[in-house]
Amino acid sequence: MASRGVNKVILVGNLGNDPEIRYMPSGGAVANITIATSESWRDKNTGEQREKTEWHRVALFGKVAEVAGEYLRKGSQVYIEGQLQTRKWQDQNGQERYTTEVVVQGFNGTMQMLGGRQGGGQGMGAQGGMGGGQQQGNWGQPQQPAAQQQNNFAPQQQSAPQQAPAQQPQQQYNEPPMDFDDDIPF
Amino acid sequence: MASRGVNKVILVGNLGNDPEIRYMPSGGAVANITIATSESWRDKNTGEQREKTEWHRVALFGKVAEVAGEYLRKGSQVYIEGQLQTRKWQDQNGQERYTTEVVVQGFNGTMQMLGGRQGGGQGMGAQGGMGGGQQQGNWGQPQQPAAQQQNNFAPQQQSAPQQAPAQQPQQQYNEPPMDFDDDIPF
Amino acid sequence: MASRGVNKVILVGNLGNDPEIRYMPSGGAVANITIATSESWRDKNTGEQREKTEWHRVALFGKVAEVAGEYLRKGSQVYIEGQLQTRKWQDQNGQERYTTEVVVQGFNGTMQMLGGRQGGGQGMGAQGGMGGGQQQGNWGQPQQPAAQQQNNFAPQQQSAPQQAPAQQPQQQYNEPPMDFDDDIPF
Amino acid sequence: MASRGVNKVILVGNLGNDPEIRYMPSGGAVANITIATSESWRDKNTGEQREKTEWHRVALFGKVAEVAGEYLRKGSQVYIEGQLQTRKWQDQNGQERYTTEVVVQGFNGTMQMLGGRQGGGQGMGAQGGMGGGQQQGNWGQPQQPAAQQQNNFAPQQQSAPQQAPAQQPQQQYNEPPMDFDDDIPF
DNA sequence: TTTT
DNA sequence: TTTT
């Protein structure tokens, strides 16, 4: 708690792929999704219609990650509220690189599933929170070993401040199988 | 928790008056403030410069209310994030009336003091939370009795859902998640 | 334009009814919709599940109003970005009353249709704008005459500042629209 | 314009440095600033107070860039509303790299100066706008040559969709001193 | 009055 | 690199 300043991102868009779920040693879930937003306009010069799609990396933590894993799919439309976070990592050549993501975590973010047709999911809303519980996964057993292998060079160290777990447990979130598609948009 | 939909208000403006603080029987603080935002534009027809000020009623609950009461003053500039809420009350003639306010409460809102000169307050940020603590008063002992008198017909009865009492203990969040994606494009 | 302060509202919810469209003398469209957002939580005392729905009055102006009238229906899910505005009016007894609405107008707001099933509309996005165009109606020919009749006591006087017409000029927006809803609940 | 989805960032923080202003061949201004937001919390494990600062790259275009260049300084507190945008560039080794920025441009963004002490600026608000106008410089004559040199490998080429130039030129930015003496409407 |  |  206690923040000096405001750091807020609001996105409404569709997933470019199924979520990728991982579990931290503690059992907390992490979901990575990419969301597309786009704008179209008429080019002042050529007069032709143009469109530009922006892809956003979103990382969800805790309960909201579990919900994402269970209900979101490629194409799902979501409302995301989170924070901008840039993390440093080393590429294969040992070079420092930076990646900026929208982090949805604890009480600083929310995810709302929209529509109800486009991804299997349906009208589920979920606020962040590490409420967790069922330690049904762990760091040593990633679900996408292949993908995992090639990038053990992106540290991550997610040490952001945490909000209260809010008591509110109950909710059952069975872990989703995974599924990669990647003709990833970036 | 669990919300279907999004209900969010963001204001940056200055207080029209000192905050009015009250305490609920439970000891929880409630602060009422009014915030001005304004826009100026040139009138298309007359060509003259015009300005319009909008006044917003804001009700803060819990810890954030205490902070407001202690640090905010008439003229203070603040950032407010809260929810729209319309409550019904009866006027002197027994007629039903409605008042819409921006409610800052629990983890659904925040208040950030801006600037640092205009009101005594200084760079204090505070997230909502009914965390309460110091039962230093109660509903019957308002700090602004005068103001009180004239509107005892506005019940208030804030029965909105309460967020987790903040306590916020245990939870382990400091884990290094991991290698997100691979030779990620950004 | 020039604004001191920030006045922003973001809503995601469903329409409680079909939009009510009206036209100002200038031909500019005005759409009124009501949007529901809700929260559910477990009562700390009784332990039972509770839910609370908040209803929001939203007034859209110009092109975005036309889009709303054409594509939105009762039940449609929308993303709304607008400004809080409180207007004064006189009730039947000549008493001053106030109504707070979310105004979507010009470049200060947007409306995005979500989902794609619940209202006929599909994936249409629209930013406010003075664009006008198809003068397909006028003040004297409201589409919801019934609703009209019963509430000629809510003046409205929509005199908010207008953003630069951005090319698309013509449109006259300073007209007092009119009688919105009836014995409106707020 | 027409956008499918929502892409919005809201920041309130302080500048880490004076703005860097450049001019495009067209004469349009571009200002780059970095904004700090921070959060502090008590570490669950060690019990000690911790703080984390997040730095945000912000690129402002057009009139709002000119205002930033004129009034913002290192330390200035600002409210920023813009869009997330990731652009690709080549580093010295010809490697593709990506940088994510918050873009404030046209009617999709705003900048509000806050406080009034920390940077010389005072209560200035400015909405984006490619309004151009005063061709007072060009891409080849940056105001911060030093800073320029070290990163000429970051192309920039801002080819995002441009909003309607809106005509709205000149704009007067002198502040109407505000004064809150309650003729408050409620 | 919506939605789940 | 800011701010408190």
- Residue with the larger pLDDT of the pair B155 and C56: C56
Q: pLDDT value at position B127?
A: 64
- Residue range D58-70: average pLDDT? 98
Residue D34 CA, nucleotide F1 C1', distance (Å): 8
Residue D141 CB neighbour total at 10 angstroms: 11
Q: Per-residue pLDDT for B152 more than 80? A: no
Most distant CA pair in chain C, distance: 59
- Residue range B28-41: average pLDDT? 96
- Residue range B6-16: average pLDDT? 98
Q: pLDDT value at position C108?
A: 87
- Residue range C109-138: average pLDDT? 54
- Shortest distance between the Cα of D177 and any Cα of chain A, in A, equals 25
Residue D149 CA to chain centroid, in angstroms?
21
Report the residue of C77, C88, C89, C107 to disrupt the D interface, i.e. the one with the largest count of D CBs within 10 Å: C107
What residues of chain C, 22 to 61, have a C-beta less than 8 Å from chain B? 35-41, 44, 50, 52, 54-56
Q: Per-residue pLDDT for D158 more than 70? A: no
Task: Give the single-character DSSP code of B161.
Answer: P
- D112: helix, strand or coil: strand
Q: pLDDT value at position A41?
A: 87
- Residue with the larger pLDDT of the pair A175 and D115: D115
Q: pLDDT value at position C98?
A: 96
Worst-scoring range by mean pLDDT, B154-168, C23-37, D74-88? B154-168
Cβ partners under 8 Å of residue C17, min gap 6: C33, C34, C74
- Which of A7, A9, A38, A33 lies closest to A19, judged by CA? A33
Q: Residue ranges of the alpha helices (H) in chain D? A: 63-71, 145-149
Asked if B185 and D79 come within 8 Å (Cβ–Cβ), the reply is no
Q: pLDDT value at position D129?
A: 52
Intervals of chain A under pLDDT 70: 1, 116-186
Mean of the per-residue pLDDT values of chain C: 73
The alpha carbon torsion through D96, D101, D105, D111 (nearest 10 deg) reads: -160
Token reading at B109: 């809102």
- Residue range C26-48: average pLDDT? 94
Mean of the per-residue pLDDT values of chain B: 72
Q: Per-residue pLDDT for B38 more than 90? A: yes
Q: Please report where in the chains the tokens 């490629």 appear, as a residue.
A: A74
What residues of chain A lie within 8 A of the CB of D2, using their CB?
Answer: 39-41
The pTM score is 0.75
Q: pLDDT value at position D118?
A: 41
Asked if residues A51 and B143 have their Cβ atoms less than 8 Å apart, the reply is no
% of chain C exceeding 70 in pLDDT: 61
User: Strands A77-90 and A110-113, how do they pair?
Assistant: antiparallel
Q: pLDDT value at position D39?
A: 92
Residue A65 CA, nucleotide E2 C1', distance (Å): 27
- Residue range B9-24: average pLDDT? 98
For chain A, how far is it from start to end, CA to CA, in angstroms? 34
At B89, which amino acid appears? W
| C33 to B28, C17, C65, C72: CA distances (angstroms) | 36, 7, 10, 9
Token reading at C64: 């975005």
The whole-angstrom separation of Cα B17 and Cα B5 is 33
Asked if B7 and C54 come within 8 Å (Cβ–Cβ), the reply is yes
Asked if B161 and C102 come within 8 Å (Cβ–Cβ), the reply is no
Q: pLDDT value at position B128?
A: 60
Asked if residues A62 and A88 have their Cβ atoms less than 8 Å apart, the reply is no
pLDDT digits (tens, 9 = 90+) for A75-119: 999 999 999 999 999 988 888 999 999 999 988 899 999 985 443
- Does A118 lie at the interface with B, CB-CB under 8 angstroms? no
Please report the domains of chain C, with CATH numbers, ordered by start residue.
Answer: 9-113 (2.40.50.140)
Please count the residues of chain C: 186
Residues with CB under 7 A from strand F: A 4; B 116, 122-124; D 13-17, 34, 36, 38, 53, 55, 74-75, 77, 118
Token reading at C177: 């629209």
- Which of C21, C18, C11 lies closest to C120, judged by CA? C18
Q: pLDDT value at position C127?
A: 66
The whole-angstrom separation of Cα D95 and Cα A69 is 33
Asked if B6 and C6 come within 8 Å (Cβ–Cβ), the reply is no
Q: Please report where in the chains the tokens 């809106």 appear, as a residue.
A: D166
Q: pLDDT value at position A116?
A: 59
- Residue with the larger pLDDT of the pair D43 and B155: D43
Residue A124 CA, nucleotide E4 C1', distance (Å): 8
Asked if residues B155 and A122 have their Cβ atoms less than 8 Å apart, the reply is no
At B88, which amino acid appears? K
% of chain D exceeding 70 in pLDDT: 61
- Residue with the larger pLDDT of the pair C77 and C174: C77
- Does A147 lie at the interface with B, CB-CB under 8 angstroms? yes
pLDDT digits (tens, 9 = 90+) for D138-156: 222 334 333 332 332 343 4
The alpha carbon torsion through A54, A57, A61, A64 (nearest 10 deg) reads: 30
- C135: helix, strand or coil: coil
Q: Per-residue pLDDT for D176 more than 70? A: no
- Does D115 lie at the interface with C, CB-CB under 8 angstroms? no
- Which of D126, D138, D133 lies closest to D165, judged by CA? D133
Q: Please report where in the chains the tokens 């292998």 appear, as a residue.
A: A149
The whole-angstrom separation of Cα B23 and Cα D67 is 44
Asked if residues A88 and D55 have their Cβ atoms less than 8 Å apart, the reply is no
% of chain C exceeding 90 in pLDDT: 51
Q: pLDDT value at position D127?
A: 67
